[in-house]
Homo-oligomer: A and B are copies of this chain.
Amino acid sequence: MTIAVLGGAGYIGSHTVAQLVKAGEDVVVLDNLITGHERAIDKKARFYQGDIRDYHFLSQVFSTEKIDAIIHFAAFSIVPESMQDPLKYFDNNTGGMITLLEAMKQFGIDKIVFSSTAATYGEPKQIPIKESDPQVPTNPYGESKLAMEKIIKWADVAYGIHFVALRYFNVAGAMPDGSIGEDHHPETHLIPIILQAAAGTRDNLQIFGDDYPTKDGTNVRDYVHVVDLADAHILALNYLRAGNASDAFNIGSATGFSNLEILNAARKVTGQAIPAKIGPRRPGDPSTLIAASDKARSVLGWKPQFDDVEKIIGDAWNWHENHPEGFGDRQ
């Protein structure tokens, strides 16, 4: 039986594929390569290029391969872009899920682990954020993912398609052996932006606001190493294989680091000065986001190995320093 990883050429997807292969799983990757990189896909996985919104494509792959379960990463995830062009997000993320579920139903595939997000909570009512807290997204990206959660719940009731939704907080780092890492274009995440500035491939670095009600005035976020996040997907897969009920889990470290703390940790790890400017607040940025991840720890047995922000930044730096052009496939 085979695991299909949708969006397996992307950042989190490619790390999950590598961890699945290490765990002895038979893996196929489906990716349209709009934001993914073919070179990021583990050589032991079979690759099919195509779009999850294309029912005919899904149908061909699911006819060829005997799929036991799906891990679904194939989504757009840039918040400011979602504000500018929400339909791009609803079409690919929400619409893609509808097409995918239709194909799963037709081919009798009844297990799926998929990427949800902290952005489904919007402005948190309490810190740390629990899975049962209200979900009131403040941007279309979060809204498109919340709609995916709602739709799949009804698909579970009607067709018995079991799911685990993993609500990610901030993800960073790279494979510790340096084989794969993060390569987004444009890059919008703090740690790779800081490391691009450290590597000299980016001119200016800006921190958005230093007047938030936090320890040093900058935003506080919860960081998880990409390999720990990848492993959470494998645990979720095994949870479903053991016949457990559909559920949603936060994946976070339960610890918050401010933007300035991350910057200082990066200065220490890289040995570079990394000049940065403080700019104005960016609309829609909550002050603090920290996950309560007790549920993932107790129910899935998730235990992050790399629970150290300098290790996370160190692995990311190892990748960026050795791959200033990322996977080198940019058009």
Interface of A toward B, CB cutoff 8 Å = 83-87, 90-91, 94-95, 98, 101-102, 105, 140, 143, 147, 150-151, 154-155, 157-158
Contacts and interface: CB of A to CB of B under 8 A. Distances in A.
B102 A151 contact: no
B90 A98 contact: yes
A143 B102 CA distance: 17
A157 B101 CA distance: 29
Given A94-B94, A94-B151, 10 more contacts: A83-B157, A83-B158, A84-B158, A85-B158, A86-B151, A86-B157, A91-B98, A94-B98, A140-B158, A143-B150
Contact of A101 (B83, B87, B143): B87
A87 B91 contact: no
10 contacts: A86-B151, A86-B154, A87-B98, A87-B105, A90-B151, A91-B98, A94-B98, A143-B151, A147-B150, A147-B151
Contacts of A147: 94, 147, 150-151
Contacts of A90: 98, 151, 154
A151 B150 CA distance: 14
Contacts of A91: 98, 102
A85 B105 CA distance: 11
